[in-house]
């Protein structure tokens, strides 16, 4: 039997996934241990309030654990970012929850950038499909790319975390990329943290309204993302052409 040999990039990715899985399992076991009657408490209203109150009182420890989860959800695909944002809002309120998500995104972006710089394209291709390199060829024009990326990150409902895996192969400054991606994400993060806060405070009507609006916007983003993407590219191309024409006058 021939033993399969893994590349350095594959080994690192496997290690990251294992750490993420153990982190999630650790959180589940922690909750079950911390709340020995977890399921019993969860079955009645007073029990739910007690669980939420205790989770909110985890303080720095809870903040750091959720921050780790937020960092790993950028690197591994099986942890939905919206869930982390909702939990952050439930645990720490909408504003501190948003801050936690932004800190996590910042650390994750720099971490991924460093990994790709170290391991090269073999690591990036484990997370990004080959066709994305062609689709995002505009990234080789930093000035134009940052504006397009801002609108790209602003559109809800479409996968976008993979873009950071492409940045090391472009002339785009990582600090500018992180700043643009964070600012563009804020309008989608804040509703999620407010949703989590509304759920934890038993304001279910408010939570339902926020969730309804988020679903509608996300569906529109998913359905029309190609049209929006092409409109942004077209607008940028026209803008670039006008600049070139004015410079020749």
pLDDT, tens digit (0-9, with 9 covering 90-100), for 17-54? 777 777 777 766 766 665 555 555 555 555 556 656 66
Question: For position 10, what pLDDT does the model report?
Answer: 77
In terms of pLDDT, which residue wins out, 184 or 225? 184
pLDDT above 90: residue 175: yes
Give the pLDDT band of residue 73 (cuts 50, 70, 90). Answer: confident
Give the pLDDT band of residue 68 (cuts 50, 70, 90). Answer: confident
For 141, the 3-state DSSP assignment is: coil
Residues in the chain: 249
Pick the range with the lowest mean pLDDT from 2-16, 138-152, 234-248. 234-248
The arithmetic mean of pLDDT across residues 166-188, rounded, is 90
85-118 residues labelled b (16+ CB within 10 A) or e (exposed): bbbbbbbbbbeebbbbbbebbebbbebbbebbee
């Amino acid at each position: 039997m021939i033993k399969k040999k893994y590349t350095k990039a594959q080994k690192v990715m496997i290690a990251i996934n294992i750490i993420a899985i153990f982190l999630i399992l650790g959180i589940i076991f922690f909750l079950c241990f911390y709340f020995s009657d977890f399921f019993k408490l969860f079955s009645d209203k007073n029990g739910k309030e007690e669980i939420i109150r205790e989770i909110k009182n985890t303080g720095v420890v809870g903040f750091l654990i959720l921050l780790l989860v937020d960092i790993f959800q950028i690197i591994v695909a099986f942890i939905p970012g919206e869930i982390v944002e909702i939990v952050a809002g439930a645990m720490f309120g909408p504003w501190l929850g948003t801050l936690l998500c932004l800190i996590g995104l910042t650390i994750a972006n720099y971490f991924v950038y460093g990994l790709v710089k170290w391991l090269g394209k073999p690591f990036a291709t484990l997370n990004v499909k080959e066709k994305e390199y062609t689709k995002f060829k505009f990234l080789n024009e930093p000035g134009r790319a940052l504006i397009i990326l801002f609108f790209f990150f602003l559109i809800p409902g479409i996968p976008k975390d993979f873009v950071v895996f492409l940045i090391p192969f472009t002339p785009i400054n990582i600090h500018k990329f992180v700043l643009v991606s964070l600012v563009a994400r804020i309008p989608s993060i804040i509703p999620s943290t407010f949703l989590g806060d509304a759920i934890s405070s038993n304001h279910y009507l408010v939570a339902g309204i926020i969730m309804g609006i988020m679903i509608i916007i996300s569906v529109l983003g998913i359905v029309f993302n190609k049209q929006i993407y092409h409109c942004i590219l077209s607008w940028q191309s026209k803008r670039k052409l006008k600049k070139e024409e004015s410079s020749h006058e």
